[in-house]
Structure 1
């Protein structure tokens, strides 16, 4: 139909061929094939040139509309590939939201203001499914290390070290740092849901030669601080999950080997390069560096989410 459009626009098969870079014979063949498909003549002689029949004029008008839509599609595709438009779907877990996701989204809006960002909390029991099945472009998860797992590619962002949280006035509160083994005989307040983060704590304690005696489970960092403040026990909380410490607790670093959870970005290995996604990952890395990533050599190799 674009050949017909060129012939009608120039009024000549020869002129249309010159515009399109075809031979006149090739243009005539294209018109003949289109007339056969349409079941009617599309052109008629007019002096030394041609003019469209009613059917030819009708198809030419549709060809014009198609050409406009194709041009619009090409422009839209170029904008998408350049990162001027598009949509990025992100899954994250709560304690990564403020420290990592929020600054990364803010920077992405500066770099790619036309890209829409969808933010949702990940399913804590299955944080990778949305990425693997294409409902999300990237998910923040806790894991052992970068590489591949369950059909996704994992990129390490940072090691988030655990801190000891003690009741104010605790004998160890006067120290600048605490050896994890010194907490072996203490009552413990649970701060994690059963799963990889709790596994990281238990593995660290096992490496220090003990299993913690939990007297209460909170499964929430803020609530855990409240229980510690009330004198019910001690706990471990990752740096990103600490927030503003309770006024009646003391927070101390743990001596190396420091237990840590490794925070990863999960992506599909088949996802093509996209400027917004690349920029978002780089923004996450910058936020991670600003959030106090623990050096790799100081982070104990713990099983994590």
Structure 2
């Protein structure tokens, strides 16, 4: 195997035109330079230099190795620069997971700000199981996940940062008997047929628990796990629904949306962050951006 350090000595000889000049540049003795070149010739199995007058010039093989030595030198310099940037946290990779309705409303504007403030950071962004992206962080596959508040926030090595409270709104068919009211008590909806807008998990739990606090259980006649589809069922008159504000960015033209109270169901959105990642300036910047995204 060719010795990279000896190749750099050869490059110095080729670029300076003599062993003496190369020795002066490298801080070696001429004898040491000659020994390094001779050892490299033995490794290569072919002459690398030939004498021309008082100096030397590379053979075809010597020129080849000198050019490769130059490439290696540039690559080493680039690696050192990249490592310096990585140590200074100017570059690197952030792995981020999110659920569907957090995409356009939270992640898009926050990532746009991150790109401006930390242009050297690469982002691995993926949408995960809408009900539970938390394992992506707890199992070490992601640095940060946007999650609906879990039942327990006691997860070793995970730090939770509150981002926002996302209240649920009543979604009614246009012309519904309750559409004239600007604010509804949750009990106003107790006897209505319901369209389920979420699958099992913390989002559905917020709805069911809110109804339980109001003294009833919702009568789900249609099941949907997509807010746009749920609005379509409501618009068709199949029932009413509760949908979080973030899920109403694209509102169906044939529904009306009203606030609810007593109680107002709420899903609490957090960022789950690996504690080992908290020291990264880019991640702290992303958290700040997520917390300061303008609310609708």
Q: Distance in 2 between matches of 1:119 and 1:280?
A: 13
2:84 is aligned to 78
CA contact (8 A) 1:143 1:262 kept: yes
Provide the aligned length of Structure 1 versus Structure 2. Answer: 290
1:23 is aligned to none
> Which of 274, 280, 284 is equivalent to 2:286?
280
Q: Distance in 2 between matches of 1:272 and 1:174?
A: 48
Question: Pairwise mapping of residues 120-135 of structure 1 onto structure 2 (< 5 A)?
Answer: 120-124=126-130, 126-135=132-141
CA contact (8 A) 1:147 1:155 kept: no
Q: Distance in 2 between matches of 1:150 and 1:189?
A: 37
Deviations 1:207-243 (A, max 9, x none): 0010001111122111111111111111000000112
Deviations 1:114-135 (A, max 9, x none): 2211211113454122222332
> Which of 259, 264, 272 is equivalent to 2:270?
264
Q: Distance in 1 between matches of 2:195 and 2:257?
A: 14
Once the two structures are TM-superposed, the CA of residue 73 in structure 1 deviates from its matched residue by 4.2
- TM-score, normalised by the number of residues in structure 1: 0.71
1:143 is aligned to 149
In the alignment, structure 1 residue 173 sits paired with structure 2 residue 215 = no
Q: Distance in 2 between matches of 1:90 and 1:248?
A: 35
Question: Pairwise mapping of residues 230-245 of structure 1 onto structure 2 (< 5 A)?
Answer: 230-245=236-251
Q: Equivalent residue of 2:252, what SS? A: coil
In the alignment, structure 1 residue 291 sits paired with structure 2 residue 290 = no
2:215 is aligned to 209
- TM-score, normalised by the number of residues in structure 2: 0.73
Q: Distance in 1 between matches of 2:156 and 2:217?
A: 30
CA contact (8 A) 2:186 2:263 kept: no
In the alignment, structure 1 residue 219 sits paired with structure 2 residue 248 = no
Once the two structures are TM-superposed, the CA of residue 95 in structure 1 deviates from its matched residue by 0.3
Q: Equivalent residue of 2:123, what SS? A: strand
CA contact (8 A) 1:193 1:219 kept: yes
CA contact (8 A) 1:108 1:280 kept: yes
Once the two structures are TM-superposed, the CA of residue 175 in structure 1 deviates from its matched residue by 1.1
Q: Equivalent residue of 1:284, what SS? A: helix
Once the two structures are TM-superposed, the CA of residue 257 in structure 1 deviates from its matched residue by 3.3
Q: Distance in 2 between matches of 1:67 and 1:146?
A: 53
Q: Distance in 2 between matches of 1:67 and 1:147?
A: 50
Question: Pairwise mapping of residues 95-106 of structure 1 onto structure 2 (< 5 A)?
Answer: 95-106=101-112
Q: Equivalent residue of 2:167, what SS? A: strand
In the alignment, structure 1 residue 183 sits paired with structure 2 residue 194 = no
Change (3 A) 1:145 1:82: farther
Deviations 1:140-166 (A, max 9, x none): 111158954365221110110000001
Structure 2 residue runs of 5 or longer lacking an equivalent are: 1-69
Q: Equivalent residue of 1:174, what SS? A: coil
1:21 is aligned to none
Change (3 A) 1:125 1:93: closer
CA contact (8 A) 1:146 1:156 kept: no
In the alignment, structure 1 residue 110 sits paired with structure 2 residue 99 = no
Deviations 1:44-79 (A, max 9, x none): xxxxxxxxxxxxxxxxxxxx9999877644422331
Question: Pairwise mapping of residues 42-61 of structure 1 onto structure 2 (< 5 A)?
Answer: none
